[in-house]
A = this chain, B = another copy of it.
Amino acid sequence: MPYINIQITREGASREQKAQLIRGATDLVVQVLGKNPATTFVVIEEVDTDHWGIAGETVTVLRERARQGGAQ
Contact = CB atoms under 8 A, between A and B. Distances in A.
A63 to B, nearest CB: 11
Q: How many copies does the complex hold?
A: 6
Nearest to A53: B22
Contact of A54 (B9, B40, B45): B40
Interface in A6-39: 6-9, 13, 15, 17-29, 31-33, 35-39
Given A38-B54, A40-B53, 16 more contacts: A1-B54, A2-B7, A2-B8, A3-B41, A17-B33, A18-B50, A18-B51, A19-B50, A19-B53, A21-B28, A22-B53, A25-B25, A39-B39, A41-B41, A42-B54, A43-B53
A4 B56 CA distance: 11
